[in-house]
Structure 1
């Protein structure tokens, strides 16, 4: 299966630089609306058969133009919502302080420390299980291509944990802008390979270069 993991469009709290993960969350900015409107053309060459969104409003608004253009029903699933910030909710999400703690915790899960818990939030086992369940559901539909409109930290963490050619240094060093997309192929049984990350080809993990900085990118 071809799997498209799409970050939602810009929100007011993205602009403010805040860790914003609670349901239902804010809507989109004017730029975010334009980003959403551009998705049907951006994915013109993708034969998307099923479309999933999270329980946060911003993913549903982002997916709406694509759903309308393709005649698809966006399936709402809690499993692909953003990683809960817990006690860090609505704190500044920059590369220091809360933002650094948030992404270090998330990337620790991708590196295998799944028992580590976000302060006041979930642990890695819980996050990966819920995200895996939606991916497995999409694969179970038999669709050749599925799109999941999700969230920046969740996509980067899941991809680093599940794609054999994406490691934590790569995911930490490559932010995903609003409506940026990670494209993978594979299956829950056979595993996943990342084909592209925000439009750039993903090289094997051992060739991904030095580790990048862990960047705060909840949303």
Structure 2
């Protein structure tokens, strides 16, 4: 199957660099709304057969224009919400953000028993995301393409853990801009390969020929926190 992992549009918490992971969370800024409105055109070449969003408001608002344009009903699933910040919730200091990302990427590297301070473990975070990917694979069986509108840290962590050609170093050094898209192909429980990261083809056999197929990033000039 073809899997599109899409980060939500910009929020006020992005602007304040806050670890805002609790539901329902903030809506979109004016720029975030424009980013969401641009998604249908950015994904024009993608034959999306299933569209999933998290329980956080920002993903639902981001997916709305794409859903309307394609005639899809977004499926809301808690499994693709942002990695819960626990005791770090709403902090925006460098120490907290470093602790958050260090824990997330330790999960990608295999230390799945490690817990976010006051929060979930890697096994729990990966397990819930895997469940939604498996469900989406079934739902998109007609077209073979599913789109999941999720969150920056969750997408980077899961991709580094599951795609054979994306390692922790790459994911850590390549943040996702708002509405940035990671494109993968593979099957749940089997091998995943990342084809592109915010429109740029990444390593692996045949990737240079794969292209982004319309999956583009909407670049925001302000530095972005992980969620």
TM score, norm. by length of structure 2: 0.89
For the residue of structure 2 that corresponds to 1:6, the secondary structure is strand
Q: Which residue of 2 aligns with 1:39?
A: 39
1:37-186 equivalent positions in 2, closer than 5 A:
37-92=37-92, 96-141=94-139, 142=141, 143-186=143-186
Q: Which runs of 5+ in 2 are unaligned?
A: 205-222
Where does residue 24 of structure 2 map in the other structure? 24
Separation (CA, whole Å) in 2 of partners of 1:104 and 1:71: 39
1:20–1:218 contact (8 Å) kept in structure 2: no
Distance 1:22 1:189 in 2: 29
Does the aligned pair in 2 maintain the 1:103–1:216 contact within 8 Å? no
Q: CA deviation at 1:189?
A: 3.2
Please state if 1:11 is matched with 2:19: no
In the other structure, the counterpart of 1:217 is 225
How big is each residue's C-alpha offset from its partner over 1:16-44, in whole Å with a ceiling of 9 and x where there is no partner?
Answer: 11001000000000000000000000000
Q: Mapping of 1:186-201 within 5 angstroms?
A: 186-201=186-201
Structure 1 residue runs of 4+, over 2 Å off?
215-218
Q: Which moved more, 1:60-69 or 1:184-193?
A: 184-193
Q: Matched residues in 2 for 1:158 and 1:216: separation?
A: 19
Q: Give the Å deviation of 1:217.
A: 3.2
Structure 1 alignment gaps of length 5 or more? 205-214
2:196 is paired with a residue of what secondary structure? Answer: strand
Q: TM-score, normalised by structure 1?
A: 0.92
Change over 3 Å in CA distance of 1:216–1:113 after alignment to 2? farther
> Alignment RMSD, CA only?
1.4
User: Distance between the aligned counterparts of 2:36 and 2:2, measured in 1?
Assistant: 21
- How many residues get paired? 208
